[in-house]
Structure 1
Amino acid sequence: MKGSKGTISHYINNLFIIALVLYILLYLLSTIWEHPIITETQSIMAMIMLLTTLLVFPKRGLLLPILLITISIIIVVSTSSSPIALWIGLREMNAIITLVILIGLVSWMISHRPYVKALMLLGKKKITTPTRFYSLVTSITHLISSFMTVGGIPFSYQMFQNMKKPHVTQLPWDFTLSTAVIRGFSLTVLWTAVHPAFAYVVGGTNAPLFPTMFKGLGLAMIGMALSIGIFSLQKSRKKVVDEVIPDLTMNPKEHLNGLVGKFLFWVSLLMGGIFITHHFLKLDILLAVPLVVVVVTTLYFISNRALPQYKKQWFTFVAIDFGKKKREIFLMLSAGILVGTLKETGYGHDLFLYFLTIVEWLNLNILMGLTLVVILLGFCGFPPIPAMVLLSGILIDIPGGYAPELVALSLLLGVSVTLFVAPVTVPLLLLASLNGRSLSEVGLRWNIIFGIIFLVIGLVYIQGLAVFS
């Protein structure tokens, strides 16, 4: 009996993997050839992934995504809309899912040689405390994410995750690395032009690009300093001691000469490729990142004459790793169903107007109200980036006579905070899949103090700009 159950689970797992592979391939095909058969088949593959996950995954681990799907159904029924909105929502997150899956190839290059150790050895005399190590990780994440957006999370995390000393307790290590990565990433949305949320907000408010970037960068730097200060206060409570600093002693068998230059070359090629394909070839950033990652990774293994290892990595990646993504994919698909439902029924637009009415009734400053609206939407289960997509068409009508860049920055502050405190966001999904911890732990529980203080400082910063503008 146990053998038959194992066989059934094996077949269900393989069915999930096949559906996921086809879902990604169909999305990539749809970017160059739009056809109803392609889009409808995507929804079918998404439905197969949902059903196979429900059959084998513990239901307790799926409470949040099931709740999101239930809310979507309630919206369709209460608005007397067509159930086709749910079907369309199954492919709403196809770009995000493709990005989340294919960005993992970056780790193949990083782990192929001890690049990170060679890089950190350059400044080993300065990395003498956990706070300095935290500052390094935060800065690197912020820099990389400024080019790769959400892809910077796994890229940065995987740079350091294998450098943990064996005797270091897991919680202090996870806390240090995870908070540094998520905070460094979340601040990029305030000024990085390639970030989808930034692009949608600037377009929706008609805000001037460079003034918005400049003012957003100022707030991001304040957030960076605050993040380091908050960590310094939190580290004793989380028992973060000096041993959390990675071992930077050189193994005589490791040949590190020239690795820094090679590492910088491949990172530059990766980031430069993303920048060129996005800005000059006009590819959507969510499509440009995975495509460039695949191309650069392939070139890397060809140039290093390691194609057999590359083929083995692909086999393990598809045959084993894909099957471990069930909960993550289920959650993203359910979020996509909610986003698609809100867009198709028009209820998302109405919801935003309701929030604006409440802001006016409470007599709040409209700039503060906009920031809180975005955060509230996030806590209602609505991801911040899709929220900006949904709202971009009505942001130009915001009352108050404020400069467009201040309206944009108010919304972006809300997005930045939402990214690490909301119940479910793509960055938290990525981070939780990397360290194996819950969304609430890597998000709200570890970052609530930083989130509240940064929100208050951010609101004061924007009000100060409004006064002097």
Structure 2
Amino acid sequence: MRAFIDKVFVHSLILFILAYFISTIWTEVIFLHAMSAAGFIMLISILIVMPKRVLVLPILLISLSIAIVWLTSSPLGILWSGLREMSSIIPLVILITLISWIISHRPYVKALLSRGQNRIHTPIRFYTFTAAISHFISSFMTVGGIVFTFQMFQNLKRTETSNQAWDFTLSTAIMRGFTLTVLWTAVHPAFAYVIAGTNAPLIPTVLKGLGLALIGLVLAIFIFKFQMNQRKINVDVVPDFKNDMNERLDGLVWKFLIWVALLMGGIYTFNQGLDVNILLAVPVVIMVVTTLYFVCNRALAEYKQRWRRLMTVDLGNKKKEMILILSAGLLVGALKETGYGEVLFGYFLTGIDWLNLNVLIGLTFVVILLGFCGFPPIPAMVLLSGILMGIPGGYSTDLVALSLLLGVAVTLVIAPVTVPLLLISSQNKRSLAENGFRWNIVFGVSLLIVGIVYIQVLTLF
């Protein structure tokens, strides 16, 4: 029975994605209904097979959606439309994994690491190198970069280094490097949705976000240096990235950078030059570049195998993400269609006035509050974009977007439960609280303060 329901879920997810892409070309109502139907089937199948503890937040969101529709005596068609509210996010979340196919095809990262192995003998240099590599890889691999980076470095520890010191150093470097990517990386779903939801200009937002990310990396290094002295951490590493397979690494770094540039450049060209919505541009460019990569490397057989695995195995593991996305979409649709979104926006402005806060600062804290309530970044962005419209004060949309993204970045490292924390905990076998709040609260608060000041300074120009 479980196997049958899993197949139903996978086929419904594929139908949803296909209907979405077709609807962007052929605007027939049948494809909209197909998305809603596929979303409904996915929702039911997940509710049947997923553990009850995982369903607490989704059921709460679904219940709130139904309550809003019932209290306002609105038509049930609102809920049917809400099932496709996240139609642009679901293909993005699924297809972004294709980038990892390029990274794992050849030892690109090993070639990159071999360039810096002679410069990481001290703890500070090792930490800086690891954080920078984590940031770079996660910039186009998103959360997959956490596990990838951890596994690249996990065998470098010497016996003289304690497990506590090693886990703290490696895990905080990876987490801090990763969390800053959300501020500027176009392939990150939260960033892409904020850009689409606020209509912020892509390139100015990327540049301003990149500036804050670089400041954040420097901040992370200084905080580690302080924590290293405070905790008396002594990390000894073996900087040895030799190629066990005797593969040729010459020229791989440049080839890799060319493909990354092609990916990023393609997204900007589609979005800016062809005026394609970024939520559509990102998955389309990812598919085109990935296909082109395997064609150029004459590896179409492997490419087909990877697609087969995605369809038969990997999609079945996306239930948790899909239930959160679909339930958040129902709530956003109910809020938008019933007018409750405007009411909540009014309460938000009243609270900002009462606390005498700047609106941009208020947006950041709202995202953090949602994170501590259990909302993952993507549903939080969708929820806010459906509520917070017409921000007063004449602020530019790129600063509004950056304020929201700052909240996401802080939430990722200090909230009780986030996907990055789950991934890093699965690698070092430490608790979510230790990997998150205990080890990163100083960094999170410091990034919040520095980020708020950074954004306020930008408002002066």
The alignment's TM-score, normalised by the length of structure 2, stands at 0.81
From 194, 198, 201, the equivalent of 1:197 is 194
Q: What pairs with 1:70-219 in structure 2 (closer than 5 Å)?
A: 70-129=63-122, 131-136=124-129, 138-139=131-132, 152-154=141-143, 156-157=145-146, 160-166=149-155, 172=168, 175-176=171-172, 178-188=174-184, 195-198=192-195, 200-201=197-198, 203=200, 218-219=211-212
Cα displacement (A) at 1:136: 4.0
Q: What is the rounded CA distance, in whole Å, between the counterparts of 2:167 and 2:19 in structure 1?
A: 40
Corresponding residue number in structure 2 for 1:276: 269
Cα displacement (A) at 1:69: 1.5
- Answer yes or no: is the 8 Å Cα contact 1:89–1:336 preserved in 2: yes
Relative distance call for 1:283 and 1:241 in structure 2 (3 A) is farther
- Answer yes or no: is the 8 Å Cα contact 1:92–1:337 preserved in 2: yes
Corresponding residue number in structure 1 for 2:160: none
From 55, 63, 67, the equivalent of 1:62 is 55
Corresponding residue number in structure 2 for 1:394: 390
Kindly, what percent of the aligned residue pairs are identical? 44
Q: What is the rounded CA distance, in whole Å, between the counterparts of 1:215 and 1:377 in structure 2?
A: 24
- Answer yes or no: is the 8 Å Cα contact 1:43–1:91 preserved in 2: yes
Corresponding residue number in structure 1 for 2:292: 299
From 331, 334, 340, the equivalent of 1:341 is 334
Corresponding letter in the other structure for 1:186: V
Q: What is the rounded CA distance, in whole Å, between the counterparts of 2:412 and 2:146 in structure 1?
A: 21
- Answer yes or no: is the 8 Å Cα contact 1:138–1:180 preserved in 2: yes
Corresponding letter in the other structure for 1:288: A
- Answer yes or no: is the 8 Å Cα contact 1:106–1:293 preserved in 2: yes
Cα displacement (A) at 1:267: 1.6
* Residue 363, structure 1, aligned to residue 356, structure 2: yes
Q: What is the rounded CA distance, in whole Å, between the counterparts of 2:75 and 2:174 in structure 1?
A: 42
Corresponding letter in the other structure for 2:149: F
Q: What is the rounded CA distance, in whole Å, between the counterparts of 2:281 and 2:211 in structure 1?
A: 28
* Residue 404, structure 1, aligned to residue 395, structure 2: yes
Corresponding residue number in structure 2 for 1:421: 411
Counting matched residue pairs gives 444
- Answer yes or no: is the 8 Å Cα contact 2:194–2:381 preserved in 1: yes
Relative distance call for 1:72 and 1:233 in structure 2 (3 A) is farther
Relative distance call for 1:223 and 1:177 in structure 2 (3 A) is closer
Corresponding residue number in structure 1 for 2:40: 47
Relative distance call for 1:356 and 1:294 in structure 2 (3 A) is same
Cα displacement (A) at 1:251: 2.8
| Paired residue secondary structure (1:60) | helix
Q: What is the rounded CA distance, in whole Å, between the counterparts of 1:311 and 1:19 in structure 2?
A: 21
Q: What is the rounded CA distance, in whole Å, between the counterparts of 2:345 and 2:277 in structure 1?
A: 26
Cα displacement (A) at 1:82: 2.4
Cα displacement (A) at 1:230: 3.1
Q: CA RMSD in A?
A: 3.8
- Answer yes or no: is the 8 Å Cα contact 2:89–2:193 preserved in 1: no
- Answer yes or no: is the 8 Å Cα contact 2:368–2:407 preserved in 1: yes
Q: What is the rounded CA distance, in whole Å, between the counterparts of 1:82 and 1:131 in structure 2?
A: 60
Cα displacement (A) at 1:338: 1.7
Instruction: Structure 2: give runs of 5+ residues left out of the alignment.
Output: 158-162
Corresponding letter in the other structure for 1:160: T
Cα displacement (A) at 1:295: 1.6
The alignment's TM-score, normalised by the length of structure 1, stands at 0.80
Relative distance call for 1:111 and 1:341 in structure 2 (3 A) is same
Relative distance call for 1:37 and 1:276 in structure 2 (3 A) is same
